[in-house]
Structure 1
Amino acid sequence: MKHNNNNKFCGKIVLLGKSNVGKSTLLNQIIGDKISIVSHKTNTTQTQVIGIQTENNFQLIYIDTPGIYNKKNIYFSINNINQYIKKTIANANVIVFMINQIHFNITDEKILQLITKINKSIIVVINKIDLINNKKLLLPFIQLLHKKNNNLNCIIPISAKKKHNITNLIKEIKTLLPQSRHEYSNNINTTNSLNFTITEIIREKIIYYFHKEIPYIIDIKVESINISSNRNCSIKVLLMVNNYRQKKIIIGEKGEKIKHISTLARKNIEKKILKTVFITIWVITKKK
């Protein structure tokens, strides 16, 4: 579409792909703020995270989705992937399908087949190109993807971590947006609530600090947030684990581990809300 400077354009862009392809990293780089947690662990993003980028007459609404992954070496069936993708991209204008370097396996193949059957604009992003030692392999890989499907709008190699070629990706996305009023005001960069942001910050610290000791799918509930007039904020959080062993690991000897998690989380929350934060995290076992 040819864009008129007097018109407004707005659309939803779904970031889709396997786990650990860099969707959350890309979203954070585009928005310029950490709104989606990043980890080396599979499927860290547990729910859809929305980031909003408004530039002049363009508003781009990005949706970071949980990664499609294989559990215990058993890949999603074609029907499961189909249902997931249809639900995820139902209201999208543009699909950004992300691939990890030049690794293209059966799950990538299934995703590509399915999204091209749906009437949406598709951009394939080859991420982490900084990790490809032999850059001469990149062009043949791009040509291979074009041969697999000639309905792709474009294929763009990037490095989300190094911020390489992200500007060109945004330019391409803008050309695919429909003319429409903006859904959000210019100063909003995410629809995440404060509760959601707090729980995700704590989840990220637990994933980073405990690695494989604690499953990353844990229940975190913000019990209360009290913001006083003197720029102080008191937060009480419940962290619910599966059993006493996990509770003991997270609390640590004399409570040193949960204190460390609380300190890390507090510093991040203070940066977000620009207030002095006092946080209390209670660790309990889930009721059977």
Structure 2
Amino acid sequence: MSDTSTSGPNSSHCAVVALVGAPNAGKSTLLNRAVGSKVSIVTHKVQTTRTRVRGIALRDSAQLIFVDTPGIFAPKDRLQRAMVAAAWNAVQDADLVVYLFDAQRQAPDAAAEEILRGLGTRARRRVLALNKVDAVPRESLLTLSATLNDLAAFERTFMISALDGDGVEDLLDWLAAEAPQGPWLYPEDQVSDLPLRLLAAEVTREKLFLNLHQELPYALTVETEAWEEFKDGSVKIDQTVYLQRETQKRIAIGAGGRTIRKVREQAQAELQRQLERPVHLYLFVKVRERWIDDPDRYRDWGLDWQA
């Protein structure tokens, strides 16, 4: 978290709010909705978020610092262990915890029950947000709410659709009302503490996730190698896409370079919208077999390499 503080209005309030849940529960979608700007990547694939992404929202006199955590699941390798550890650390550090549950799942499975037990011992204050409720009959929602509250005893339950915004305003109003009194931790106009280089890399990684299939996206990472500002306001960004095997590199590039060209065009357009200036994006694809075991990458992501 930034050390820079700002007083905000008189009688200001501030809360760190951790968004937790299983992969694909809708945490990143809710974060972007709450902040009113895209600060966390969203795809249809699970385990998209690798690090803790902070989005900052103002609600009356309250500053809400949302932490979009990696989904909690049974980890299988070093990166996944670090991701899950980051999620649980965010829970313990937060003033308020919002547990998102995909209402379309109808009932918690063993993995969800384990998360709920963890929340019971690690979260100081927690609320339940049943997401995607527009696709579920009300009777089923009441039964599901009762089941989940039996497992974790939430202070409040909110029925929301993070995608279209239904019920989100009520959730934000409650969080703002419960925020402890104290100075704002970020300037009024800041919406994220994600460095621009990392933000740009995340945008490109999102486009790779959306254009590649099966397991390939999980075998890659993106690094912003160079960032050059020009007098006309434009920026030149050089990024490297690292993959673990030569066969993966060929798939990522595509026949005649079509796949990586499409990714570059989509990422460049997204960055131009977010940065509000011309962007010249250059992508290079390389093989680095053991990038997943490089401690420097974990440090850049804010993850514990030894988790």
One-letter amino acid of the counterpart of residue 30, structure 2: L
**Equivalent pair of 2:243/2:289 in contact (CA under 8 Å):** no
Q: Count the aligned residue pairs.
A: 277
> Would the alpha carbon gap of residues 276 and 89 (structure 1) be closer, same or farther in structure 2, given more than 3 Å must change?
same
Q: Which residue of 2 aligns with 1:261?
A: 263
Cα distance, 1:185 vs structure 2: 0.8
Structure with greater contact order relative to length (CA < 8 Å, sep ≥ 6): 2
Say yes or no: does 1:104 pair with 2:108: yes
Within 5 A, what are the aligned runs for 1:11-90?
Answer: 11-70=15-74, 86-90=88-92
- Normalised to the residue count of structure 2, the TM-score between the two structures is 0.84
Q: TM-score, normalised by structure 1?
A: 0.89
Task: Pick one of 180, 183, 186 that aligns with 1:184.
Answer: 186
Task: Say if 1:270 and 1:277, in contact at 8 Å, map to a contact too.
Answer: yes
1:70-127 Cα shifts (integer Å, max 9, x gaps): 468xxx99xx999665422232100101111033112221222222223611101111
Q: Provide the C-alpha distance between the structure 2 equivalents of 1:9 and 1:284, rounded to a whole number of angstroms.
A: 47
C-alpha separation in 1, matches of 2:148 and 2:216: 38
**Residues 83 and 48 (structure 1), Cα distance of their counterparts in 2 relative to 1, 3 Å cut:** closer
Letter in 2 for 1:146: N
CA 1:273 to 1:109, structure 2 compared with 1: closer, same or farther past 3 Å?
same
CA contact (8 A) 1:42 1:69 kept: no
* Aligned partner (choices 241, 244, 247) of residue 242 of structure 1: 244
2:133 corresponds to 1:129:
yes
User: Is the deviation greater in 12-21 or in 206-215?
Assistant: 206-215
Matched residue SS, 1:230: coil
Gapped runs of 5+ residues in structure 2? 1-8, 291-307
Residue among 280, 283, 286 paired with 2:282: 280
| Greater shift in the superposed pair: 55-64 or 139-148 | 139-148
Larger Rg, first or second structure (1 or 2): 1
- Residue 28 to residue 88, structure 1, CA distance change in 2 (3 Å): same
The DSSP-based 3-state class of the residue aligned with 1:223 is: strand
- Where 2:174 maps in the other structure, the secondary structure is helix
Say which SS state the counterpart of residue 282 (structure 1) adopts: strand
Q: What is the aligned-residue RMSD (CA, Å)?
A: 2.3
1:214 corresponds, among 213, 216, 220, to 216
User: Taking structure 1 as reference, are residues 147 and 81 closer, same or farther at Cα in structure 2, changes over 3 Å only?
Assistant: farther
1:156 aligns with 2:158: yes
The range that moved more, 230-239 or 177-186, is 230-239
Of 115, 120, 123, 1:116 maps to: 120
Work out which of the residue numbers 144, 147, 152 in structure 2 matches 1:144. 147
Aligned position for 1:92 = 94
Deviation at 1:287, TM superposition (A): 5.4
Q: CA deviation at 1:235?
A: 1.0
Does the 8 Å CA contact 1:85/1:115 hold for their aligned counterparts?
Answer: no
**Structure 1 CA distance, aligned partners of 2:215 and 2:62?**
44
Alpha-carbon spacing, 1:136–1:286, altered in 2? closer, same or farther (3 Å): same
Distance 1:36-1:217 versus aligned 2 partners, 3 A rule: farther
Whole-Å Cα distance in 1 between the matches of residues 123 and 273 of structure 2? 41
Cα distance between partner residues in 2 of 1:46 and 1:119: 21
> Sequence identity, in percent?
26
Instruction: Give yes or no for contact 1:214–1:246 (8 Å, CA) kept in 2.
Output: yes
